[in-house]
Amino acid sequence: MRLWYTKPAEKWVEALPLGNGRIGAMVFGGVYRERLQLNEDTLWSGVPIKEETDKNFADDLEKARKLIFEGEYCKSENLISNKLLGPWNESYLPLGNLYFDFDNEGDYVNYERDLNLEDALSSVKYTMNDIRYKRTVFISKPDNAIVVKFESSKEGKISFKASFDSLLRYTVVTENKNSISLLGKAPIHVLPSYEDGEKPVIYDDKRGMNFKAVLEVNSINGDIKSEDGILKVKDADEVIIKIVVHTSFNGYKNEAGTQGKDVNDLCENSIQKIRDKTYVNLYNAHKIEYKSLFDRLQFTLNSDFTDNSIPTDKRIENFKENKNDLGLISLYFQYGRYLLISSSRKGTQPANLQGIWNEDLRPAWSSNYTTNINLEMNYWLAEVCNLQECHEPLFNLIREVSEVGKQTAKIRYNCRGWTANHNIDLWRQTSPAGGSTEWAYWPMAGAWLCSHIWEHYEFTNDVKFLKEMYPIMKSCAEFLVDWLLEDENGYLVTCPSISPENNFITEEGEKSCVSMASTMDMSITKNLFKTCIDAANILEIDKKFRSELKNYYNNLYPYKIGKFGQLQEWFKDFEEFEKGHRHLSHLFGLYPGNEINEDNNKEIFEAGRKSLERRLNNGGGHTGWSCSWAICLFARLKDSESANKYLEILLKQLTFSNLLNVCPPFQIDGNFGGTAAISEMIIQSNKGYIEILPCIPKEWKDGSVKGIKARGGFELGFEWNNGYIKEINIKSGLNNGICKIKLNTKTIKLYSKLKYEIISEKDNSMKHAEDKVLFSSNMIVTQIEKGYTLKLSFL
């Protein structure tokens, strides 16, 4: 399974991404000049900052609230914009570029570059002057290094110059005859690209973060020398290059320039560990470790139009011409998994707006952690797609943000607990950012992030993890308890409240974003209160707190249905300023939340459908991530044809030739959201039971999946033919896990016989199964022992 092309990348969005969670590279595949654009996940602008304590936030907040209760929404918004916003976040930065300038002369033929998703390896091959050249690149997680190999079909034909540059302040030095280094300094502040300023980039040579990349070369035959920061290889048979990268980042509390780690020591230790390792040893270690994650899940859609011999960019063009290449959907699905493995691993930073790949000094939206949809969407696929370890960096961010956010809660909101707003950076800033109230003043990010804690527990039943993280959930719930106010009807509401980045038209015909009890706020609050209650029940603790939360939960402002039959976005049935807005915030309770579904509130469920249709019919879903969210929502609504329609839009209109997502510009959330959406179309488990093929389009007649996860600790594989399921295999990660499967007559025929088998994973021996399975109406209930697979065959 691979992406492949017949010409080098001309633009960054045509290059191919590699990563090990910490180090990233975009490989261009040039013939005369190769470029590897490099990133390291802790290379950010900035220094730690503290909450402002010299301002009277409490009084201004009370004034803003009073204005809202008086219906003076615009006045409240102006007050918030002028008095209650904070500093801009910092930016994720590009480390630099590594170039290989070849001595090649002449034309080339039979060019091919690819990215093999099955072993996370990029290769470039071409023929010039009757010589076949090949180079491969991978980034090893076990050895924390970039490894490049150059080969040719004739001896003595590999010659090139290697050099570094950077958009940051840098120097390149010669370490010895076979090694050069890039040393640099990050700025202490970078303004967002959409903000003007006399000094958008500010350096401080003492306080700014240091970084270093070391390149070391070994060759079979040939000459190697290094001078003036340029490494030269002449007439070699084969060349192996190893690159290590480090920054001085020493935790979010410490100034990286004055309290940071020594990049020289870090790089020397890293290069020393791999100096004597062969390419084969490095590659095998990389491949084994990577495949332990990637190979867990296989997904195939069968199609007459699927042809892997067609270059990927041509496949995308063919897809636009309505050639139904379902294999491209399978590739896109696995690409999302590949990208998460490559950008989010234990011990690394979470994937940001661009994963770990960024070439700009002032990237779009600072390439930070945007928490009103984007950061969370990055991790929607982690559990269901069997990559739970890749979720860990987000949990670590939550741990750190929950500490910083206590000061924000106390100083800015006069509340207990902790909170965060819509932007977070490496330094874990939790205060409202600068700019506009419509995005910045939104202290609900902590509560949304906590939903990932609960989701991980639901998929793993890891009580130890829940016990560790529950205090974070509780503390965030305490913030919301203090943040809520009682309205004139006795309901508890958030105030001030926005529906992220959207505006409404007031009764006086004015545009505003500020009111109370936005539907998203109330949905997130309901979700956190309910999951806190459930977690405390499981842990058998906090009986009094549970009781208090139940009372608060029961008095929260309810969902409202508007004049179009839609789920209202705000507490009043305001008209949207932008009817086709990209955000779908008021549908949080439908997805990724679980509260709105066809089982527990059909009327609100259908109102959610009308809201989604209204938003999209007016031009919504026009960004990559918004389109992915819409597909997830249609999947929950069981609208397979609409889900498929927007999946096709995602691939046809919102995907670059390298399959990265178009926001525009590039943002990685749409890739992750797209993979999550496909998962939601083939399996759902959010209502206490598992649904298989709940939203399968008629075009997906034949297919199979193996290794997909469901809540309750289950791992499933199933195969379908002509739209009907043939076989289901279920494994449990728990001892005697109770599994409920709802059968859908649209995808399961009323067969004359349903065969049950229990198979040992150890020796493939079989056990009698009929007494282990209960079949009632359209539900199968079974108990599965750990170490065994239940096989259901529909004969």
In a domain, 511, yes or no: yes
pLDDT of residue 272: 97
Chain segment 320-372, per-residue pLDDT in tens: 987 789 999 999 999 999 999 999 999 999 999 999 999 999 999 999 999 99
Asked if residue 768 has pLDDT above 70, the reply is no
Going by pLDDT thresholds of 50, 70 and 90, the confidence category of residue 160 is very high
pLDDT-based confidence at 37, cuts 50/70/90? very high
Cα 574-578-579 angle, rounded to 5 deg: 75
Same domain, yes or no: 80 and 99: no
Q: How confident is the model at residue 182 (pLDDT cuts 50, 70, 90)?
A: very high
Residues 6+ apart with CB under 8 A from 309: none
Q: Of the residues 266, 294, 322, which one is the last residue of a structural domain?
A: 294
Give the Å distances, CA to CA, from 613 to 608, 625, 696: 9, 17, 19
**The predicted structure's pLDDT at residue 764:** 81
Please identify which residue in the block is written with the tokens 């991404």.
Answer: 17
Tell me: the pLDDT tens digits for 50-88? 998 888 999 999 999 999 999 999 999 999 999 999 999
Residue 607 lies in a domain: no
Instruction: Specify the residue for token string 């309910």.
Output: 530
CATH number at residue 790: 2.60.40.1180
Task: Give me the phi and psi of 326, to 5 degrees please.
Answer: -70, -20
Task: Render pLDDT for 103-157 as a digit per residue (tens, 0 to 9).
Answer: 988 999 999 999 999 999 999 999 999 999 999 999 999 999 999 999 999 999 9
What average pLDDT does this structure show over 581-599? 97
Q: Is residue 442 part of a domain?
A: yes
Q: For position 772, what pLDDT does the model report?
A: 67
What average pLDDT score do residues 576-582 get? Answer: 96
Note the pLDDT of residue 762. Answer: 83
Nearest to 5 by CA among 306, 313, 327, 318: 313
In a domain, 512, yes or no: yes
- Residues 18 and 152 grouped into a single domain: yes
Work out the pLDDT band at 771, boundaries 50, 70, 90: low
Query: Is 68 in the same domain as 160?
Result: no
Tell me if 581 sits within 8 A of 511, measured CB to CB: no
Q: What DSSP designation does 153 have?
A: S
Q: Is 774 contained in some domain?
A: yes
* Shared domain check, 135 and 6: yes
pLDDT of residue 412 exceeding 80: yes
Helix (H, G, I), strand (E, B) or coil at 356: coil
Is the confidence at residue 751, as pLDDT, over 60?
Answer: no
Strand order in the sheet with 504-505: 511-512, 504-505, 575-576
**What six digits make up the tokens of 545?**
């707190």
770 versus 496: which is more confidently predicted? 496
Q: What is the pLDDT of residues 446-480, one digit of tens each?
A: 999 999 999 999 999 999 999 999 999 999 999 99
**DSSP per residue, 154-217:** STT-EEEEEEEE-SSEEEEEEEETTEEEEEEE--SEE--TTS--S-SEE--TTTSPEEEEEEEE
Residues 371/420, Cβ–Cβ less than 8 Å? yes
pLDDT-above-70 percentage for the chain:
99
Residue 252 belongs to a domain: yes
pLDDT tens per residue, range 272-301? 999 999 999 999 999 999 999 999 999 999
- Residue 779 pLDDT class (50, 70, 90 cuts): confident
Residues linked to residue 303 through DSSP beta bridges, in sequence order: none
Mark whether 79 and 187 lie in a shared domain: no
Q: Do 726 and 748 contact (CB within 8 A), yes or no?
A: no
The pLDDT score that the predictor gives to residue 479 is 99
Average of per-residue pLDDT values in the chain: 96
Query: Quick check: is 762 in a domain?
Result: yes
Torsion of CA 118, 120, 124, 125, to 10 degrees: -30
**Element spanning 392, H or E:** helix 392-413
**Residue that terminates a domain, selected from 581, 613, 645:** 581
Contact 5, 15 (CB under 8 A): no
Q: Which residue has the higher pLDDT, 736 or 299?
A: 299
In total, how many domains does the chain have? Answer: 3
599 inside domain: no
Amino acid at 205: D
Show the 3-state SS of 438-491: HHHCCCCHHHHHHHHHHHHHHHHCCHHHHHHHHHHHHHHHHHHHHHCEECCCCC
The CATH number of the domain holding residue 524 is 1.50.10.10
Per-residue pLDDT averaged across 768-788, rounded?
A: 78
Percent of the chain with pLDDT over 90: 88
Q: With cut-offs at 50, 70 and 90, classify the pLDDT of residue 775.
A: confident
Burial class (CB in 10 A: 0-12, 13-18, 19+), 142: middle
283 in the same domain as 416: no
End-to-end CA distance of the chain: 32
504 and 577 part of one domain: yes
Residues 445 and 561 in one domain: yes
Q: Which domain holds residue 735?
A: 703-794
Question: What number is the average pLDDT over the span 91-96?
Answer: 99
pLDDT at 190 over 90: yes
**CATH number (domain holding residue 24):** 2.70.98.50
HEC secondary structure over 87-124: CCCCCECCCEEEEEEECCCCCEEEEEEEEECCCCEEEE
φ and ψ at residue 733, rounded to 5 degrees? -85, 0
Whether residue 14 sits in one domain with residue 77 = no
Of the listed ranges 171-175, 389-393, 772-776, the least confidently predicted one is 772-776
Whether 754 shows a pLDDT value over 80: the answer reads: no
- Asked if residue 115 and residue 64 are part of one domain, the reply reads no
Domain boundary among 240, 264, 294: 294
Same domain? For 421 and 555 the reply is yes
Rounded CA separation 485/500 (Å): 20
pTM of the model: 0.97
Cis peptide before 192 (omega within 30 of 0): no
User: Average of pLDDT values for 551-563?
Assistant: 98
The residue-averaged pLDDT of 571-590 equals 97
Average pLDDT on 681-698 reads 96
pLDDT at residue 769 tops 70:
no
- What's the one-letter identity of residue 321? E
Asked if 736 and 752 sit in the same domain, the reply is yes
Which structure tokens are listed for 12?
């960054």
